[in-house]
Structure 1
Amino acid sequence: MKIKFIIFVFVSIWLALIVRVFYLAVESNSYYSRLSMQNTIKHEQIAPVRGEIVDRYNRPVAINKLGFKIQIAPHLLLKKHKNEFNETLSFLLKALPDLDKEKIIKNYRKKDSYYNHNFIDVVHFIPYEKMMPVYSMLNLQKNIKVLPAPKRYYPYKNIAAHMIGYVSRANQKDIDKDPLLDLIGYTGKTGLEKYYNSYLQGTPGVKKIKVNANNQEVEELSYKSPDEEKKLKLTLDMELQKYISKLFKGKVGAVIVMNVDGSILAAGSYPNYDLNIFVSGMSYKMYDELSSSLDHPFTNKMTHGLYPPGSTIKPLLGLLYITTDLNEHWSVDCRSNLKLGGRTFRCWKKKGHRHTNITKAIRESCDDFFYKGSLVLGNKKMSAGLRRYGFGKKTGIDLPNEFIGVVPSREWKLRKYHKIWNIGETANMAIGQGDFLVTPIQIARETALMATGKLPTPHFVSLIGDKEYKSSYKNVLNKVELKKLPVIQKAMYQVCNSPHGTATNYLHVKVKIAGKTGTAQVIGIKQDILKRKKEHELSYYKRSHAWFTTYGPYKHPQYVVTVMVEHGGHGGHAAGSIVSDIYNRLLELGYIKKK
């Protein structure tokens, strides 16, 4: 019995061993084959080349300069390899003496670890012409790799800088959002470069290689090219941009030239800066000078500048007035001031405008008309109407982080300041002052609404690859407003053409245009001051912002031109000449067709 039991145990053990050997040798073969492949086959990602940006005539706006980056093998700072690292570094510096030794060591230490088996970027860019004499020599070194590394370049430098934007080194926050940036190294930081970054950067390729135990390449098994050749075609005309930059030389503010369908032909924010300094890096001194400037050169004033709209708001409010509680025949007797809530609300004209209807109120920018009209409508209807027209919300322009501005209301003030609205704020809002804030692109868009009855979505891009970007509109005006719109258009025409128009004397334009000037105060005027100082008598930063927004030709609107000059004083005086020159240029270049 004992012998049978021993034989049974012996046979059972051998059967178990035979089954296990069979499993390991046959059944697990595919599993261990895969495991072996993972240990010996390496997948290397290949960084795509960033897509180019061109203007409407295919002039290059953002391109890539051909160059190279240098990598050094990992783990050479270990004690046993220290001499090898020093020899590699010495060889590199001998071949390219202009390189910064300390920066190379710093870049290497940052990425070197036991867990990293990839070569480490130590020099991010060497120009093509500088690398070619030593390229072959460096490539023969086992611890050095030289790889293609294009560098972003902006041929127009500071022209349309805020619109185009720039790329620079991706930081850890960027990489956490998009791990692909760890491979690419650069990302769009502002402007169109940021808004269309995911498209422009493309997708990486993959190289499948066999490596030995020392992580040395034995054989290339497959190669998939990166998906690149991305191209962004803009609606901008860069030569027109250059012309407008000359007109704005020495001034601070923003300018927008936009087709009434929303496509932007030219746009600028001033002062601007050379985009290339962000790619190559700038000194702390230069950065401090730019960032501390009271003119805020880093701010894209077109989408991020918040300003009181001043009288540019009057055509829109006028349309609201005559289509709600008032009509186009309603008038006031402007006596230059209005007593309201213990305060005096003045009109800009000392002797007043006397009998004033909607047309005269817009043509001559009568404040008293809009004060009194606002008391009939009230803040609730005014703020609701202005938001419906597009204020207090994004325009949808293809630029990042657009500001929405402020359309003040009772609810807004209570929520923000925990204070009750007063009637004086309604009157102040009616002339585009107080807490009412807009961006220049909002004013340009609203001007297109006055020109055509449709609210367009502004945009800079015409083609994304071979896909056309289609302009879009919103129909925000009701039937009554569309019917009464010609009343406002006629008044805006008279602003620029009537002897009494606020812009007429400042224009030398060859196209019949319509528009509205605006003078937006940046400081309040004390109640006890009976005689206002003239704008030129004030210190620069106390002067009003000057607005002039227009469309033309009047009968067949094609383009909107909006100009805002910070601390420029009166809108017509500060911007009339600029607007005239822009329209005349549009005519010369054939953009405007006289009908």
Structure 2
Amino acid sequence: MKIKFILAIFIITWLTLIVRVFFLAVESNTYYENLSHSNTIKSEKIAPVRGEIVDRNNRPVAINELGFKIQLRPHLRLKKNIKIFNEEIDNIVKLLPNLNRERLIADYIKKDSYYNHNYIDIVHFISNEDIMPVYSVLSLRENVNIVPAPKRYYPYGDIGSHTIGYVSRANKKDIKDDKLLELIGYTGKTGIENYYNTYLQGEAGEREIKVNANNQEIEELSYVGANEDRKLTLSIDIEFQKYVSSLFDKKAGAVIVMGVDGAILAASSFPEYDLNTFVSGISHEVWNKLSKSLDKPFTNKLVNGLYPPGSTIKTGLGLLYITTDIDKTWTVDCRSSMPLGKRVFRCWKKDGHRITGIKKAIRESCDDFFYKGSLQVGIKKMSEGLMRYGLGKKTGVDLPNEFIGVVPSRDWKRKRYNRPWFIGETVNTSIGQGDFLVTPMQIAQFTALMATSKLPTPHFAKSIGTKPYQPLVQEVLTEEELKKLPLIQQAMYEVCNYPKGTATQYLSSKVSIAGKTGTAQVVTILQDIEDRVLEHEMSYYNRSHAWFTSYGPYKNPQYVVLAMVEHGGHGGAAAGEIVSKIYNKLLELKYIK
């Protein structure tokens, strides 16, 4: 029995040894082959070059400037290598004295770790002109690596800054959302650069190389190039946009010049700022100056500026009035004020407009007509109709983070404040005041609807690569609205051409245009004040915002031109000259035929 037991142990031991030898010799072969492969074959990602952005005439508005970045070998801050590290830093600063030594060290420390075996960027960009005199000296140092690194450059500086946007270094959140940014280092932060970032940045390439034990390259095994240089062509004319910007001088606000199909020829938010200051990092001094400005230069007022629309929405409301509960022949006797409850709602004209119908109400911007009309129609039809016309929702323009604004209604107020609706709020809404808020882009789209009966999607892209941009155009008017729209259009023509039109005296356009002025209050006028203070007598930031939105030519609408001047006072007075000169330039450049 003992012999059998010993024999069994002997057999089990040998079987165990045989199984283990088989596993090591055969089954583990694949594992160790892969391990050996990873020790000798290295995969490198190839950063794509960001695509350029050009205007409709192929003028570059965002390009890549040729330059280089300087890298240092990792692990040089270990105790045994610290002397080498300091020597390399001192040498770089000596050859390139404009560099900051402490900044170089700080950037190195951020990336240096036991797990990082790649060279570390310490100079993210240096121009071709600056590196060439010292290139041969630096490239001979075994711990230093110099590699090509393009940098974004904006040839037109501050022109169209909010539209074009800028790129800057990717932060941790950016990299978490898009791993490619860890390789590229930069991402679109605002404007078109941000909206089309995925397309513009392209896709990484990859190369496989054989390396020795010292991580030195021996042979290239495979190469797949990056998918890069993706071109984006815009509908804007950057030289025309430069002209438009010059008209605004030092005013704050926004200008939009848009084809009635939605293609934007020029659009600016003011004040503008130089895009190039953000590519490498803006100084604290410049940042503080811009961020503390009361004119809010960082706000893209085209889509993120929310303003009361004032009388600009009277065209759409007038169309709703005469296609719902009011006949087109309905009139009011405007005596300059309308008592309602404990309040008195005033018309802007001190002596009143007297007998006023729909055309006169739009032409001369009679508030009393719209006050009394709102009491006939009611807030439900007003708000639903205005939202159908494109207000209170995104226009769909190709800019990031577009705001939706507010078209007040009972449901909106209940959800927002959990409070009941008052009839006085209906009256306020009828002249674009109260809680009513819009963006300039929404009013431009709304004006295109009044001009053509169609609601276009505003857009900056003309073609993405070789593929033309296909915008959406919506049919939103009812048959009755289509039938009576010409009456509204005629009233808009009279705004700009009739002797008592609110814009007529301020225009010098060679193009026959139609439009609507708007004066949007930013401070409340107290009930016990009988004589209103004139706009020019108010302190600047208490003055009303001035709107003037238009289309032309009147009989063959081709372009919408909108100007909104913050704290400009009366719409026609503040913006009439700007709009006139824009139409004249459109005619001169043969955009208007």
Indicate whether the TM-score tops 0.5. Answer: yes
Deviations 1:74-101 (CA, angstroms, capped at 9, x unpaired) = 1111111112212222332233232211
Residues 545 and 566, structure 1, Cα contact 8 Å, conserved in 2: yes
Preserved CA contact (<8 Å) 1:311 1:520:
yes
Worse overlay, 181-190 or 405-414: 405-414
CA–CA separation in structure 1 for the residues paired with 2:280 and 2:119? 23
Shift of 1:7: 5.0
> Is the aligned partner of 1:90 residue 2:95?
no
1:382, distance to aligned residue in structure 2 (A): 0.9
**Per the alignment, in what secondary structure is the counterpart of residue 49 of structure 2?**
coil
Equivalent positions of 1:100-249 (< 5 A) are 100-249=100-249
Unaligned runs of 5+ residues in structure 1 are none
Residue 371 of structure 2: SS of its match in structure 1? Answer: helix
Deviation at 1:116, TM superposition (A): 1.2
Report SS of the residue matched to 2:232. Answer: strand
Q: Which amino acid aligns with 1:415?
A: K
Describe the shift of the 1:5–1:417 C-alpha distance in structure 2 as closer, same or farther (beyond 3 A). closer
Counterpart residue type for residue 430 of structure 1: S
Shift of 1:179: 1.8
1:275 paired with 2:287, answer no
* Deviation readout 1:455-496 (Å, 9 max, x if unpaired): 111000011111110121111111111111111111111111
In structure 1, what is the equivalent of residue 528 of structure 2?
A: 528
Equivalent-residue separation in structure 1 for 2:506 and 2:543 (angstroms): 19
Aligned to 1:396: 396
Number of the residue aligned with 2:487? 487
Q: 8 Å contact 2:44–2:206 — kept in the other structure? A: yes
Q: What's the counterpart of residue 265 of structure 2?
A: 265
Which whole-Å deviations, capped at 9, do the CAs of 1:321-358 have from their partners, x for residues lacking one? 01111121111111111001211111111221111111
**1:270-291 Cα shifts (integer Å, max 9, x gaps):** 1111000111322211111111
Partner of 1:72: 72
- Give structure 2 stretches of 5+ with no counterpart: none
SS in 2 for 1:485: helix
**1:475 matched residue in structure 2:** 475
Q: 2:464 aligns to what?
A: 464
For 1:351 and 1:133, locate their aligned partners in 2 and report how far apart those are by CA, in whole Å: 77
Deviations, residues 211-252 of structure 1 (Å, cap 9, x unaligned): 333433333222221110111100000110111111101211
Cα distance in 1 for partners of 2:414, 2:28 equals 72
Aligned match of 2:406: 406
Q: Shift in Å at residue 524 of structure 1?
A: 1.3
Q: Which moved further from structure 2: 385-394 or 38-47?
A: 38-47
Helix, strand or coil: the match of 1:518?
Answer: strand
Asked if 2 retains the 8 angstrom alpha-carbon contact of 1:341 and 1:423, the reply is no
Q: Name the SS of the counterpart of 1:482 in structure 2.
A: helix
Q: Deviations over 1:161-190 (max 9, x none)?
A: 000000111111211111211111111110
User: Partner residue of 1:52?
Assistant: 52
CA distance in 1, matches of 2:495, 2:75: 74
For residue 81 of structure 2, give the secondary structure of its aligned residue in structure 1: helix
The one-letter code matched in structure 1 to 2:422 is N
Give SS of 1:168's match: strand
Classify the secondary structure of the residue corresponding to 1:159.
coil
Q: Distance in 2 between matches of 1:254 and 1:89?
A: 48
Residues 454 and 475 of structure 2 are in contact (CA less than 8 Å); yes or no, is this contact kept in structure 1? yes
Contact conserved, 2:169 with 2:280, CA < 8 A, in 1? no
The separation in 2 between residues aligned to 1:363 and 1:320, in whole angstroms, is 17
Distance (whole Å) between structure 1 residues aligned to residue 309 and residue 403 of structure 2: 15
TM-score normalised by structure 1 residue count = 0.97
Report what 2:329 is aligned to: 329
Paired with 2:588 and 2:90, the residues of 1 have a C-alpha distance of: 61
1:573 match: 573
Shift of 1:13: 3.5
- How many residues of Structure 1 are paired with residues of Structure 2 in the alignment? 593
CA contact (8 A) 1:53 1:234 kept: yes
Write the distance in 2 (CA, Å) between the matches of 1:354 and 1:131: 76
In 2, Cα distance between equivalents of 1:367 and 1:160: 36
1:22 corresponds in structure 2 to 22
Deviations 1:375-420 (A, max 9, x none): 0111111111111111111100000101111111122222222322
Q: How does 1:521-560 map to 2 (within 5 A)?
A: 521-560=521-560
| TM-score (structure 2 length as normaliser) | 0.98
Q: What is the identity, as a one-letter code, of the residue corresponding to 1:89?
A: I
**Structure 1 residue 423: Cα displacement:** 1.1
Shift of 1:359: 0.7
| CA–CA distance in structure 1, aligned partners of residues 305 and 289 of structure 2 | 20
User: Could you tell me how far apart the structure 2 residues matched to 1:225 and 1:514 are?
Assistant: 54
> Offset at 1:262?
0.4
CA deviations over 1:122-144 (Å, ceiling 9, x no partner):
11011011112222332222211
Query: Could you tell me which residue of structure 1 aligns to residue 418 of structure 2?
Result: 418
Once residues 341 and 217 of structure 1 are traced to their aligned partners in structure 2, the CA distance between those partners, rounded to angstroms, is 86
Q: Distance in 2 between matches of 1:321 and 1:234?
A: 39
1:550, 1:560 within 8 Å by CA — same for their partners in 2?
yes
Asked whether 1:351 is paired with 2:325, we answer no
The aligned residue for residue 342 of structure 2 is: 342
Q: Give, in angstroms, the shift of residue 303 of structure 1.
A: 0.7
Q: Distance in 1 between matches of 2:464 and 2:452?
A: 27
Task: Specify the alignment match of 2:368 in structure 1.
Answer: 368
User: Aligned partners of 1:414, 1:7: CA distance in 2, in Å?
Assistant: 90
Counterpart Cα distance in 2 of 1:186 and 1:496: 48
Query: Residue type of the partner of 2:389?
Result: Y
The CA RMSD over aligned residues, in Å, is 1.4
Measured in 2, the distance between the counterparts of 1:220 and 1:59 equals 39
Q: Among the aligned pairs, what percent are the same residue?
A: 69
Q: Report which stretch shifted further, 11-20 or 412-421.
A: 11-20
CA contact (8 A) 2:346 2:367 kept: yes
Q: Residue 557 of structure 1: SS of its match in structure 2?
A: coil
Query: CA–CA distance in 1 between the matches of 2:447 and 2:514?
Result: 10
More divergent stretch after superposition (323-332 vs 440-449): 323-332
Matched, 1:298 2:288: no
Q: CA deviation at 1:205?
A: 1.2
Distance of 1:367 and 1:238 partners within structure 2: 39
